[in-house]
Amino acid sequence: MKEHEMVNFKQLKGSGNFYFIRHGQSTANIKKIIQGRLNCPLSDAGEKQAKQTGTWLKDKKIDTILTSPLDRAKTTAELIAAETGSCAAEVVPNLIELDTGVFSGYSLKEAAEKFPEDYMNFHQYSWEGVRKAERKKHIYNRAVKHWEYLFLLFNSGKRNIVSVSHAGLIQWLIKASFGHREWFPLFPMTNCGVSQFAVRNIPVETLKETAFPNKSTGASGRTDINVLSSSENTEYTYRCEWKLINYHADQALK
């Protein structure tokens, strides 16, 4: 598989939002079972979280909802679609959870007892050290491919897009946005946690006839870049910002 470069957000013109949402609580989450690609349903609490997340998204003018093929994500997406009045969720294979190899179906404690060498390697190398688990190169490329699909949707006029996936894959969707190819650091990810990526690529008055950079990055995670597009003779201000909202559905409406 060809190794992808980092995502180039200058390909996008205009404003929009990408919402990446972890599925609601599953029955395996309750038992602290490592699921990977096992197909576990939502718990009653998970269904409630999904509905409340849909309520939170109701005024966000959602155009499209994409989902992992696993049931815990598909049901979450369907419940969100019902609350937001969006069309049916589209299943996207690249949104599937990372393969957790021989640990799948066990709690972390059980995995440590059954696979002690893998468990030791896991603490040092994350999933790279677990037999049959998905490797970082592969999952990074999957994340970039999903961004490429999001770009196609954005440039076709879809400006507020929801992707329902899993904690493992969403980590890499975030990392791929700035070219990070390692397992660590990890970002906190609750059930139905929301990670929002906002794009504000706005044309401004042309001041120069040649391209010039003007970069500044703050603690908020925002980056502004002014670049002259010679092909259109239009200068754009490129502004992209992550918000790791980690929205907790069952607390938000209290």
Q: Is 83 left (phi over 0), alpha (psi -120 to 50) or beta?
A: alpha
CA distance 140 to 116: 27
194: three-class secondary structure by DSSP: strand
Q: Among 3, 5, 47, 97, which one carries the catalytic annotation?
A: 97
Catalytic residue flag (residue 123): no
Give the chain's radius of gyration (CA, Å).
19
Q: Among 4, 23, 146, 166, which one carries the catalytic annotation?
A: 23
Which residue, among 151, 238, 231, 230, has the nearest Cα to 203 in the 3D structure?
Answer: 238
Residue 59 DSSP class: T
Q: Which runs of consecutive H residues, i.e. helices, occur in the chain?
A: 27-30, 44-57, 71-84, 108-114, 116-125, 136-155, 167-176, 249-252
Widest distance between CA atoms in the chain: 65
Q: Which residues are catalytic?
A: 23, 97
